[in-house]
């Protein structure tokens, strides 16, 4: 009998190590091995504190990482899925419980055929209830699925954090750009009002026509409309930034000019292996692993499940004899459940699990392709914005010369005010374009930082 028990115990321990989860193989990356631009040396750190050179922007990002409500929800979701994993993992171990009970029952005389009787029973038990012996790895598969889901949620939190850093930076840069446009509009309005005053005085003196005065008035009205528009945009930009940061942002927050080096430039020609560190790609892969583990649970459902209920304790009619000799009691109740006919439900569950894995593979590959496109677009934008900005600076310089010449000729009476007003509008337009192009370049650098998953150095520890 002892030999039989030892054989059964050995077989149970051997089968407990069985797993029906398919061997996981990472799908091949469906993109090129390198981005389509020349390679340059990396000189900056991947930390956002070194990426952004503006202390005010660094302060806002640090505050947002603490106070932003969406990021806080993402962090709480991670903790929630971690708790679900701990709940699922607990099924791998038997739940041991102890209980003590007392039962008193009165029997009426009509039943006892005499006087009424009161029966008392006291019991103390220690045992396990319905513990599944995981011979075919069903419980371990479900635990693995919960683990991978938890890890996927953690990557979703990282993705939310990375997006928050980029959103705060873009909102801050947009706010600064609109502030500079507002200041430029104020200066332009002052110049237009001065031109209108001069034109009106010349008309009174018979040196200008009504057409020139109307043209000058049109420039003033246009600048006033632009001033109101930029005042509104600056206020709305501040509101958006306040929402992202989660705390009030001072309207007079000191900051560097938009033309300064607010954002470190990232190097081009990076290996596409860096995409494997992007949180959205890691999240897709963890979801794929969770779907893979779910196949193991669906396969194990085809095999018998063995559950065990056992307890030992003591009981007595008298409390004083509860732990006395001859009061011990025990129960051992194994149960085997063998699926015989289920109308194809188990087969359909397995097919569904395999289809879910195929869907996860497609989503994983799509996330890599999307990431590759975002990085390639960012590198292409980086390569062309330098040329565009230089051309715009040359245009501003040329229109400034045009404006100076037109102003001198107008004051000396060589040309009419129409030429001068045209030069003034051209200068204002080119200066606006320079600020807008500089903002677009900085936003492209921030988006490239985000597309690379927060940096460009292949950190082995982070990849693990």
For residues 453 and 163, give the distance between their C-alpha atoms in angstroms, rounded to a whole number.
Answer: 10
What is the CATH number for 253? 1.20.1600.10
More confident residue, 455 or 151: 151
pLDDT band at 132 (very low <50, low <70, confident <90, very high): confident
Q: Is residue 99 part of a domain?
A: yes
Same domain, 334 and 237: no
Q: Domain span at residue 321?
A: 95-133+305-338
Residue 462 has pLDDT above 60, yes or no: no
pLDDT band at 11 (very low <50, low <70, confident <90, very high): very low
Token pair for residue 76? Answer: 């709480």
pLDDT at 38: 34
For residues 153 and 323, give the distance between their C-alpha atoms in angstroms, rounded to a whole number.
Answer: 51
Residue 88 has pLDDT above 80, yes or no: yes
pLDDT at 380: 85
pLDDT tens by residue, 21-48: 777 777 766 655 554 443 333 333 346 8
**Taking the mean position of all CA atoms in its chain, how far away is CA 336?**
45
**Dmax of the chain from CA atoms?**
136
Q: Kindly list the strands in the beta sheet with 328-337, ordered across the sheet, starting from the edge strand earlier in the chain.
A: 96-107, 117-133, 305-316, 328-337
pLDDT at 277: 77
Is residue 339 helix, strand or coil? coil
The secondary element (H helix, E strand) that includes residue 238 is helix 210-245
Residue 458 has pLDDT above 80, yes or no: no
pLDDT at 163: 92
Same domain, 313 and 402: no
Q: Is residue 456 part of a domain?
A: yes
Q: Among candidates 451, 431, 455, which has minimal Cα distance to 443?
A: 451
- Say what percent of the chain tops pLDDT 70: 85
Same domain, 229 and 324: no
Range name among 5-9, 70-74, 140-144, 451-455 with the lowest pLDDT average: 5-9
DSSP state of 28: P
Q: Is residue 282 part of a domain?
A: yes
- pTM metric for this prediction: 0.79
Token pair for residue 384? Answer: 């062309």
DSSP state of 108: P
More confident residue, 341 or 31: 341
More confident residue, 25 or 188: 188
Residue 358 has pLDDT above 50, yes or no: yes
Q: How many residues does the chain have?
A: 464
Going by C-beta distance under 8 Å and a sequence separation of 6 or more, which residues neighbour residue 92?
Answer: 134, 139, 140, 143
pLDDT at 272: 57
Q: Is residue 225 part of a domain?
A: yes
> Among residues 284, 318, 338, which one ends one of the domains?
338
Q: Is residue 2 part of a domain?
A: no
Same domain, 85 and 107: no
Q: Is residue 68 part of a domain?
A: yes
Residues linked to residue 123 through DSSP beta bridges, in sequence order: 101, 315
Helix axes 69-90, 138-204, angle to 10 degrees: 180
What is the number of structural domains in the chain? 2
């Amino acid at each position: 009998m002892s030999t039989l028990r030892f054989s059964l115990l050995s077989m149970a321990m051997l089968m407990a190590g069985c797993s029906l989860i398919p061997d996981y193989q990472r799908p091949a990356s469906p993109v090129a091995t390198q981005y389509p631009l020349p390679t340059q040396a990396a000189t900056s750190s991947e930390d956002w504190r070194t990426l952004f050179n503006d202390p005010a922007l660094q302060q806002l990002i640090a505050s947002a990482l603490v106070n932003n409500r969406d990021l806080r929800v993402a962090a709480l979701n991670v903790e929630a899925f971690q708790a679900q994993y701990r709940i699922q993992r607990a099924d791998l171990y038997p739940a041991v419980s102890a209980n003590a009970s007392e039962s008193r029952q009165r029997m009426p005389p009509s039943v006892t055929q005499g006087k009424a009787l009161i029966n008392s029973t006291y019991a103390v038990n220690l045992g396990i209830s319905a513990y599944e012996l995981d011979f075919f790895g069903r419980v371990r598969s479900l635990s693995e699925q919960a683990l991978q889901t938890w890890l996927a949620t953690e990557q979703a939190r990282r993705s939310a954090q990375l997006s928050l850093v980029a959103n705060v930076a873009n909102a801050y840069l947009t706010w600064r750009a609109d502030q500079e446009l507002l200041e430029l509009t104020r200066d332009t309005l002052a110049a237009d009002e001065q031109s209108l005053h001069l034109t009106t005085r010349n008309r009174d003196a018979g040196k200008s026509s009504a057409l020139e005065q109307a043209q000058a008035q049109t420039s003033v009205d246009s600048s006033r409309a632009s001033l109101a528009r930029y005042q509104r945009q600056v206020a709305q930009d501040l509101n958006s930034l306040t929402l992202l940061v989660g705390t009030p942002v001072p309207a007079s927050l000191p900051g560097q000019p938009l033309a300064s080096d607010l954002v470190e430039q990232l190097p081009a020609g990076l290996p596409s292996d860096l995409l494997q560190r992007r949180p959205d790609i890691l999240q897709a892969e963890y979801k794929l692993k969770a779907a893979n583990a779910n196949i193991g649970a669906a396969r194990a459902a085809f095999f018998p499940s063995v559950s065990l209920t056992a307890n030992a304790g003591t009981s007595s009619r008298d409390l004083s004899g509860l732990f006395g000799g001859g009061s011990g009691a025990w129960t051992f109740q194994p149960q085997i459940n063998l699926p015989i006919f289920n109308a194809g439900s188990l087969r359909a569950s397995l097919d569904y699990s395999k289809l879910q894995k195929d869907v996860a593979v497609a989503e994983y590959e799509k996330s890599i392709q999307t990431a590759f496109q975002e990085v390639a677009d960012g590198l292409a934008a980086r390569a062309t914005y330098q040329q565009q900005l230089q051309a715009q600076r040359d245009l501003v310089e040329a229109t400034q010369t045009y404006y100076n010449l037109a102003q001198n000729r107008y004051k000396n009476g060589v040309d009419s005010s129409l030429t001068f007003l045209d030069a003034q509008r051209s200068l204002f337009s080119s200066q606006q374009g320079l600020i807008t192009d500089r903002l677009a370049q900085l936003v492209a650098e921030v988006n490239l930082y985000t597309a690379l998953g927060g940096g460009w150095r292949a950190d082995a520890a982070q990849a693990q």
